[in-house]
């Protein structure tokens, strides 16, 4: 069978926590979920797979429709999150028009969170919650043989007036049994990232699941059960990526550094194999030690990212995050001492945040002194503890994510945690934070010294423009006298 996997354009994405000008800085990064799905289908040796990243290729919907018609697929697979639901639906409509006989399949977080609502939209023929590395090949085999798909684990579809919703397949325990993500199906020169001058970039994962219970985090497709690939498997994939011409690999694990021995073994294997490709890792406070960071640096790691989220212990407790501020700051100092770059992530307008909490976040950002900070306004995501709390306490009158999932509309704007009418102030505080971190004379001088080439200069100028004049910003200073000490919960 001919299988076409599509990353949709981003025309109607639901956004609430970043101005458009800041969002545009991120570049295009590969669709890791589709790369993994493609690899599972290819491993059967029975189907032809094409991966079409409409966003990275800059395709509009008319161009996408022509590309689908040219590919003549039997099955079209589309990843769907709550935030990309409108684009996924339009992609499905265009696919239906281009190839009326093709089966259209949805996977991803939206079918996992809202399986009934996704099926009843009538847009997708079938949807799969959870991990589909092996279940999609089973589905293709059933289609090909004509034996029916009713018994496929996790499958959801409407059979006449009846909803068929099988229990999801169990999480995949042996990640080494999976083939490497299909980097070779990408148009590699389309991928870059704000964090590096090296191109092309790609993405991989060395583990699945997350053992932590942060109150702002949705349950991911891979679940909470933490599973890892072996160091040998990861090193083999990295060697292959380097042969493909990939110059920078972003390791998008929830927490790569959870198991110290595995990280040290991987770093040793990378050096033994002579892999020179640079890479980035995500970490969590409490996992980093001088020996781990030193080994990562010697193995080509270029950057470590960590979430601080807030500088206020009171807010951090609400978020169910580590509250030891000094340990957070020390972690970033350790990263810098090891010769690695760093990014610190923050959330603005968190539940019950007051101006002194925001000031504490800025103080921690300055003390930690990462190479970059990435801050966004807090949005209560579906299937999170804080969203459930908002519904239970009456802060949110209705389950608006469920309502959107049942009746998606381009007019939809998700609620922030802030009191109604204070959304603009939340964005003003976000800009306040960005300006006071990035426009410090010492920071600006440090960035100027490290500039390397015109591409780097232009990227930094775009970042400066976004901070100063980004669409959706307001020049008002939320630290002003009238708002001093004000809480968003008022």
- pLDDT by position in tens, the chain (length 490): 999 999 999 999 987 666 666 666 677 899 999 999 999 999 999 999 999 999 999 999 999 999 999 999 999 999 999 999 999 999 999 999 999 999 999 999 999 899 999 999 999 999 998 889 999 999 999 999 988 898 899 999 998 788 999 988 888 999 999 999 999 999 999 999 989 989 999 999 999 988 888 999 876 555 678 899 999 999 999 999 999 999 999 999 988 999 999 999 999 999 999 999 999 999 988 889 999 999 999 999 999 999 999 999 999 999 999 899 999 999 999 999 999 999 999 999 999 899 999 999 999 999 999 999 999 999 999 989 999 999 999 999 999 999 999 999 999 988 899 888 888 888 889 989 999 999 999 888 888 877 777 776 676 666 666 666 655 544 333 333 333 334 444 3
Q: Look at residues 208, 248, 210 and name the one whose alpha carbon lies nearest to residue 228.
A: 208
**Alpha-carbon distance values, 169 to 105, 220, 222, 233 (Å):** 16, 15, 11, 23
Q: Strand 248-251's sheet: what is its strand order?
A: 201-204, 248-251, 278-282, 301-309, 341-348, 372-377
d(C-alpha 85, C-alpha 92), whole Å: 10
Angle of helix 441-450 relative to helix 423-438, nearest 10 degrees, comes to 60
Is the distance from CB of 315 to CB of 353 less than 8 angstroms?
yes
Enter the DSSP assignment of 220: P
2-161 fold: Rossmann fold (3.40.50)
- Burial letters for 364-397: b for 16+ Cβ neighbours within 10 Å, e otherwise? bbbebbbbbbbbbbbbbbbbbbbbebbbeeebbe
* pLDDT for res 170: 86
pTM of the model: 0.91
| Residue 163: its H or E element | strand 162-165
Peptide bond into 200 cis (omega under 30): yes
d(C-alpha 223, C-alpha 206), whole Å: 15
The domain segmentation of the chain, as residue ranges, is 2-161, 192-379+416-483
Residue with tokens 């003390």: 367
Enter the DSSP assignment of 26: G
Beta-bridge mates of residue 250: 203, 280
d(C-alpha 58, C-alpha 268), whole Å: 39
Q: Look at residues 347, 282, 344, 362 and name the one whose alpha carbon lies nearest to residue 315.
A: 347
* pLDDT for res 471: 54
Is the distance from CB of 318 to CB of 350 less than 8 angstroms?
yes
Cα of first residue to Cα of last residue in the chain, in angstroms, is 58
* pLDDT for res 474: 42
d(C-alpha 237, C-alpha 232), whole Å: 9
Beta-bridge mates of residue 314: none
d(C-alpha 419, C-alpha 189), whole Å: 44
CB atoms within 10 A of CB 481: 6
Q: Is 488 left (phi over 0), alpha (psi -120 to 50) or beta?
A: alpha
Q: Decide if domain 192-379+416-483 falls under CATH 3.80.30.20.
A: yes
* pLDDT for res 490: 38
User: What's the helix, strand, coil split of the chain in %, to 5?
Assistant: 45, 15, 40
78 burial (CB, 10 Å; 0-12 / 13-18 / 19+) is buried
Is the distance from CB of 41 to CB of 105 less than 8 angstroms?
no
- Pairing assessment for the beta strands 162-165 and 156-159 based on DSSP bridges: antiparallel
Q: Encoding tokens for residue 152?
A: 């496929």
* pLDDT for res 20: 64
* pLDDT for res 352: 85
* pLDDT for res 445: 87
């Amino acid at each position: 069978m001919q299988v076409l996997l599509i990353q949709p354009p981003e025309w109607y994405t639901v956004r609430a926590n970043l101005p458009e000008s800041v969002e545009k800085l991120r570049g295009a990064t590969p669709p890791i979920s589709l790369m993994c799905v493609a690899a599972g289908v290819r491993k059967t040796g029975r189907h032809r797979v094409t991966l079409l990243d409409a966003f990275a290729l800059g395709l509009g919907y008319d161009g996408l429709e022509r590309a689908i018609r040219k590919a003549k697929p039997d099955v079209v697979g589309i990843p769907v999150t709550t935030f990309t639901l409108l684009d996924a639906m339009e992609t499905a409509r265009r696919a239906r028009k281009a190839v009326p006989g093709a089966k259209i399949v949805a996977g991803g977080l939206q079918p996992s969170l809202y399986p009934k609502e996704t099926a009843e939209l009538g847009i997708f023929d079938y949807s799969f919650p959870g991990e589909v590395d092996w279940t999609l090949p089973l589905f293709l085999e059933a289609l090909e043989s004509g034996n029916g798909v009713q018994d496929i684990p996790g499958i959801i579809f409407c059979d006449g007036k009846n909803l068929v919703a099988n229990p999801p397949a169990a999480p995949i325990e042996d990640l080494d049994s999976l083939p490497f993500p299909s980097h070779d199906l990408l148009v590699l020169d389309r991928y870059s990232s704000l964090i590096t001058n090296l191109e092309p970039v790609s993405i991989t994962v060395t583990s699945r699941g997350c053992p932590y219970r942060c109150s702002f985090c949705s349950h991911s497709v891979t679940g909470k059960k933490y599973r890892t690939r072996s160091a040998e498997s990861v090193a083999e994939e990295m060697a292959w990526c380097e042969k493909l011409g990939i110059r920078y690999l972003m390791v998008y694990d929830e927490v790569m550094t959870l198991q110290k021995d595995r990280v040290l073994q991987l770093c040793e294997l990378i050096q033994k194999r002579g892999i020179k490709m640079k890479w980035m890792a995500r970490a969590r406070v409490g996992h980093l030690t001088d020996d781990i960071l030193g080994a990562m640096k010697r193995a080509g790691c270029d950057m470590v990212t960590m979430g601080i989220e807030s500088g206020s212990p009171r807010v951090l407790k609400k978020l169910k995050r580590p509250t030891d501020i000094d340990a957070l700051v020390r972690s970033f100092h350790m990263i810098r001492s090891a010769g690695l770059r760093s990014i610190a992530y923050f959330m603005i307008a968190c539940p019950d945040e007051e101006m002194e909490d925001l000031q504490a976040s800025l103080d921690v950002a300055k003390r930690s002194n990462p190479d970059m900070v990435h801050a966004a306004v807090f949005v209560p995501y579906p299937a999170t503890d804080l969203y459930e709390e908002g519904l239970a306490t009456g802060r949110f009158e209705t389950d608006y994510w469920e309502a959107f999932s049942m009746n998606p509309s381009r007019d939809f704007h998700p609620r922030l945690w802030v009191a109604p009418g204070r959304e603009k102030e939340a964005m003003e505080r976000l800009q306040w934070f960005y300006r006071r971190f990035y426009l410090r004379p010492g920071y600006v001088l440090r960035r100027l010294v490290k500039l390397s080439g015109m591409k780097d200069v232009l990227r930094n100028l775009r970042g400066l423009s976004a901070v100063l004049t980004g669409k959706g910003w307001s020049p008002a200073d939320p630290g002003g006298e009238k708002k001093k000490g004000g809480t968003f919960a008022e």
